[in-house]
Amino acid sequence: MTEATIRVENVTKRYGETEAVRGVDLTMAPGECVAMVGHNGAGKSSLIKLMLGLTTPTSGRIRLLGGDPSSAAASHIRRQVGFLPENVAFHPNMTGRETLDFYARLKGAPRRDNDALFERVGLEPAAVKRRVGTYSKGMRQRLALAQALLGGPKVLFLDEPTTGLDPALRQSFYAIVAALRDAGTTVLLCSHALTELEGQADRVVVMNRGRKVADGSLATLRSLARLPVRIRLTLPTDDIADLARRVGEGAALTRLAGGVVELACANDDKVDLVRRIACDGPAVDDIEIVQPSLDEMYAHFLRREAAE
């Protein structure tokens, strides 16, 4: 395994009485895309600010690309970091090009690459010449992504990057993120739009009230959560008594709208159950297997946290 790009060790951040981040450990490797999920106020943005060195931890230690991000010598670290803040704002009277030029100069990135960058995020040359004040939300977000990509960052922080974007834009957004990850960039994605993170992130970190409550790949989290898998059957008849008998104790049976019957069972029993239904069960028109979604797992981890 290569050297970790981000290493957060037992970090706590207190603002007056409130603890925004409590004892969080987090390690991220190059080429890894980690999704951080949680409610508003779960400590996601606070943690990003700590990792960017905008604030200093009350206790604990943070290493970003091998250095302390809040130290005076952090300039060379920040040159390799991209950040897309939540609710990004640009000066409305500057054009898109002027805005990106300004940030490129600050970062010491060559400005001749800006055109390629605009093309990459899908901002038309005509739009680039217009003032940012005339931009739609989607265009502003593209410009925000362009500035985050300046200078080819090794670490990319994206705080709620897809809020307010239409589905087509989201697709292209995630395509860019995937390409970056494959090129070896560490990407940290913050979101509460959980469903769209499925398939994008290598790892999911669940935050709640400043604490990290779960951390692992989607598959790991699934097995940890032990949430039931649901098998949906469309039956030609209304007779579910026979089905109930065959299914037995292992699964809970509910009747849904449109003649659909849902069986909820443990992940380990899934294959066996499907085989039984298919081989010697009643006639079935259609079968659909629904894995627990990220939303459900997230809700589960929050419930578990609340119960403790």
Neighbours of 192 (CB within 10 A): 16
By CB under 8 A, name the one of 9, 19, 68, 86 that touches another protein. 86
Kindly state whether residue 187 participates in binding another protein, applying the rule CB under 8 A.
no
In order, the DSSP letters of 25-90 are EEEE-TT-EEEEE--TTSSHHHHHHHHHTSS--SEEEEEETTB-TTSGGGHHHHTTEEEE-TT---
For another protein, the closer of residues 82 and 228 by Cβ is 82
What's the closest the beta carbon of residue 287 comes to another protein, in angstroms? 49
3-state DSSP assignment of residue 290: strand
In single-letter form, the type of residue at position 74 comes to A
* Residue closest to 195 by CA, chosen among 268, 291, 93: 291
Q: Which stretch binds another protein (CB under 8 A): 31-39, 94-102, 233-241, 242-250?
A: 94-102
CA–CA dist 78, 74 (Å, integer): 6
What angle is formed at CA 257 by the lines to CA 303 and CA 271, rounded to 5 degrees? 65
The span of 105-113, 219-227, 268-276, 283-291 binding another protein (CB under 8 A) equals 105-113
Q: Is 79 in the site for another protein (CB under 8 A)?
A: yes
Q: Per rule CB under 8 A, is residue 94 in the interface with another protein? A: yes
State in angstroms the smallest separation of the CB of 83 from another protein: 4
Structure tokens given for 123: 């901002």
For residue 296, state whether it binds another protein (rule: CB under 8 A). no
Q: Does 111 bind another protein (CB under 8 A)?
A: no
The binder of another protein chosen from 55, 172, 291, 293 (CB under 8 A): 55
CA atoms lying within 13 Å on the CB side of residue 109 = 26
91 lies in the site for another protein, by CB under 8 A: yes
- Binding to another protein by residue 49, rule CB under 8 A? yes
Our finding on whether 203 is near another protein (CB under 8 A) is no
Q: Does 256 bind another protein (CB under 8 A)?
A: no
Greatest Cα pair distance in the chain? 73
Task: Please say whether the beta carbons of 229 and 239 come within 8 A.
Answer: no
Phi, psi dihedral angles at 75 (to 5 degrees): -55, -45
Q: Binding another protein by CB under 8 A: which of 9, 68, 98, 202?
A: 98
Q: Kindly state the smallest distance separating residue 105's Cβ from another protein, in Å.
A: 5
Q: Which stretch binds another protein (CB under 8 A): 48-56, 112-120, 224-232, 253-261?
A: 48-56
Between CA 288 and CA 308 the distance in angstroms is 35
**Residue 102 binds to another protein (criterion: CB under 8 A):** yes
Single residue of 83, 118, 174, 301 touching another protein by CB under 8 A = 83
Q: Which residues bind another protein (CB under 8 A)?
A: 15, 49, 52, 54-55, 72, 74-76, 78-79, 81, 83, 85-91, 93-94, 98, 102-103, 105-108, 147
